[in-house]
Structure 1
Amino acid sequence: MGLEESKVNFLWVIRNDETEVGEGFEEKVKERGMVVREWVNQREILLHESVKGFLSHCGWNSVLESICAGVPILAWPIMAEQALNAKMVAEEIKVGLRVESCDGSVMGGFVKWEELVKKVRELMVGENVKELRKKVKELSEGAKKAMEEEKGLSWHTLDTLIAEACNFQQNVIKD
């Protein structure tokens, strides 16, 4: 209901056997929303120019993919390290917003549809969205620089790791 009432365009990827979207939902939103019930390449979707926000459970890979794609995050953690990642996204690096549960729990609490409408709209057209987009773009550019072939820090670190692993293997063989 929150997505329906938000009036924003969306792609909602769900597991067919786990989520009920409500009778008539897809018909009501067919002009601006799509529900997909199969695996998709999340990274490719996030890299598409039309994607302006990502409602995420804040698993570490999802956070990294969203930041690298330059897409702000609407954080809705469910389990494990997701609450910590959501806190980092919204409060520390400021590349997203946090969905608030009714009881104030940081993970897995009930969220009213009105809260989702409010946060989705805030992420897409809110007063602070320009700042969120600017910050996530800066981090995205930093990630790209870190991965530049032969120049980036990530490239250099991987080369060092490979060299040390080869050195270790040669020493083990000698002994």
Structure 2
Amino acid sequence: MEEKIKDRGLIVSEWVDQRQILSHRAIGGFLSHCGWNSVLESVVAGVPILAWPMIAEQSLNAKLIVDGLGAGLSVKRVQNQGSEILVSRQAISEGVKELMGGQKGRSARERAEALGRVARRAVQKDGSSHDTLSKLIDHLRAY
């Protein structure tokens, strides 16, 4: 595969800093399984998600991002005659196109950017998360 795409892409087979990648200005969206860490990192970076949940809590996280927060879109999935849920190349392609250039994608991107600003403010000095954590630490020190 690496030989096949050497002039058009990059395969990284080792660990990468996903937060750093999501924060890069060239990133316009994130095709994600919607694990909680990935969701948080995407929200903080202000990057909309193309949700492709697979197991555990990922479907709930995807529902929160897409339906609850409006900061992403779902990949269209089809259940075959068995219990497998399939995602076609076309569904991924359509999802990426909508996320990057469609009206729903534009709305998701704007919402993700707004959530990112709020999330980053919350962890800064005097932000809500920063203050709450400081209060907890002060309370624990008192004992």
Q: TM-score normalised to the size of structure 2?
A: 0.90
* Pair 1:85-2:64 in alignment: no
Q: Deviations over 1:44-67 (max 9, x none)?
A: 000000000000110111001001
Is the partner of 1:128 in helix, strand or coil? Answer: helix
Q: Deviations over 1:120-161 (max 9, x none)?
A: 111111222221111111111111111121x11111111111
Q: Deviations over 1:66-92 (max 9, x none)?
A: 011011100011111100000111111
Is the partner of 1:35 in helix, strand or coil? Answer: coil
Aligned match of 2:102 = 126
Structure 2 residue identity aligned to 1:26:
I
How many residues are treated as equivalent by the alignment? Answer: 140
* Pair 1:152-2:130 in alignment: no
Higher Cα Rg, which structure: 1
Question: In 2, distance between residues paired with 1:75 and 1:128?
Answer: 14
Which 4+ residue blocks in structure 1 deviate beyond 6 angstroms? none
Is the partner of 2:31 in helix, strand or coil? Answer: strand
Return closer, same or farther for 1:126/1:145 CA change in 2, 3 Å cut-off: same
Instruction: Say if 2:34 and 2:53, in contact at 8 Å, map to a contact too.
Output: yes
Aligned match of 1:12 = none
* Pair 1:26-2:5 in alignment: yes
Aligned match of 2:93 = 117
Aligned match of 1:18 = none
Q: Which runs of 5+ in 2 are unaligned?
A: none
Q: TM-score normalised to the size of structure 1?
A: 0.74
* Pair 1:70-2:46 in alignment: yes
Q: Percent identity?
A: 43
Q: Deviations over 1:15-50 (max 9, x none)?
A: xxxxxxx697525xx33x322111100000000000
Structure 2 residue identity aligned to 1:136:
A
Instruction: Give the one of 51, 55, 66 matched to 2:31.
Output: 55
Aligned match of 1:136 = 112
